[in-house]
Amino acid sequence: MGPALPTRQLVLLSAVGLAIFFGIWTGAAWLELAPRRFLPMPWDVIDRAFKLTETRFSGQTLQGHLVISVERYLRGFILAVLVGVPLGLLMGWYRWLDYIVTPVFDALRFVAPIAWVPFAALWFGTGIGGPTMIIFAGAFPPCLINAYRGARYVETRYIEAAQTLGASGLRVVREVLLPASLPSIIAGLRISAGAGWQSLIGAELIAANAGVGLMMVRGQAALDTSIVMVGMIAVGLIGLLIDVALRGAETWIKAKQGH
C-alpha cells in the first residue's frame, strides 16, 4: 500500500465514496432502469425507515425486529466464542483432543450454516433456539480455527519458560497460549462475527417468526422493495458496528502487549 494519508483526507475520501454510491443509485432510479417500485429512490427508503420505526410491519417495528435479531445474534455468537476459543486452545496443547475433534470438525465445517436451517427449525424451533444454532454454525469454525492456530504457533520459549517455572498443562493454556494467541483469536472473532451475522439474516429469510430477515422477506412478498432495502442497510450498519468494536479491541490488545 502507498503512504498513509491524514485523517481529514481519509474522511473526505470516504464521503466521496458514499456520494458516488448514492449518486449511481439515484441516477439508476431516476432513469428507471428498473420500475420505480422495484428500485426506489434513496429518500423513499429513508422515509420508509422512519415510518417503520413508528408502525409495525410483520408484528414489530424496525427497531423491534433489530433488537430480536441482535439478541439472537449475541446469543449464538457468544456461545460460539465460549465453546470455540477454549476448545481451539486446548486442541493446540493436548494432542489427543486434537485427534478426536479435528476429523469431525473438518467434515462439518464445509456444510454451509444455511444448510442447517431445516434441522435447526425442527430441533430448536424458529424462535430463539433455531436461529441461535445457525449463528453458532457460522461463527464457531473461525473461533476454533484461529484459537487453535494461535496456540500452535506460540513461540516455544514462552512455553518452555512456563514449564520450567512449574506450570501445569491447564495453566500453560490459560496463562501462555491464551494471551499469546489473543491477536489471532481477535482476528478470528472478526471473521466469526461477520459469518454469524450473515448466517442469521440468511436463516431469518428462510425460517423465523420475527427479525430483520423476516421483515425483508415479508417486504419482498408485498413487493415493497423499500422495506427490503431498509433491512439491507440496517444489516450492513450493524455489521459495520460489530467490526469497528472488534477492531478497537484488537488495537487495544496489541498496544497493551507492546506490538
CB nearer to another protein: pick between 56 and 256: 256
Q: Which is nearer to another protein, 144 or 162 (CB)?
A: 162
| Beta bridge partner(s), residue 60 | 57
Binding flag, residue 257, another protein (CB under 8 A): yes
Min separation Cβ 57 and another protein, Å:
49
Q: How far is the CB of 249 from another protein (least distance, A)?
A: 15
Q: Which of 160, 221, 245, 252 binds another protein (CB under 8 A)?
A: 160
Asked whether position 255 contacts another protein by CB under 8 A, the answer is no
SS (H, E, C) the chain: CCCCCCHHHHHHHHHHHHHHHHHHHHHHHHCCCCCCCCCCCHHHHHHHHHHHHHCCECCECHHHHHHHHHHHHHHHHHHHHHHHHHHHHHHHHCHHHHHHHHHHHHHHCCCCHHHHHHHHHHHHHHHHHHHHHHHHHHHHHHHHHHHHHHHHCCCHHHHHHHHHCCCCHHHHHHHHHHHHHHHHHHHHHHHHHHHHHHHHHHHHHHCCCCCHHHHHHHHHHCCCHHHHHHHHHHHHHHHHHHHHHHHHHHHHHHHHHCC
Stretch that binds another protein, among 44-52, 139-147, 173-181, 234-242 (CB under 8 A): 173-181
Does 174 participate in binding another protein (rule CB under 8 A)? no
Identity of the residue, 8 or 259, whose beta carbon is nearer to another protein in the bound complex: 259
**Near another protein by CB under 8 A: residue from 167, 191, 232, 233:** 167
Dihedral of CA atoms 181, 187, 188, 193 in degrees, nearest 10, equals 140
Pick from 163, 198, 209, 220 the residue near another protein by CB under 8 A. Answer: 163
Measured from the CB atom, the residue of 106 and 160 that comes closer to another protein is 160
Per CB under 8 A, 187 contacts another protein: no
Stretch that binds another protein, among 39-47, 51-59, 120-128, 164-172 (CB under 8 A): 164-172
Residue 258 burial by CB count (10 A; 0-12/13-18/19+): exposed, middle or buried?
exposed
66/180 with CB nearer another protein: 180
Q: Considering beta carbons, is residue 163 or 198 the nearer one to another protein?
A: 163
Q: How far is the CB of 166 from another protein (least distance, A)?
A: 3
**Positions that interact with another protein (CB under 8 A):** 157-158, 160-168, 171, 175-176, 179-180, 182, 256-258
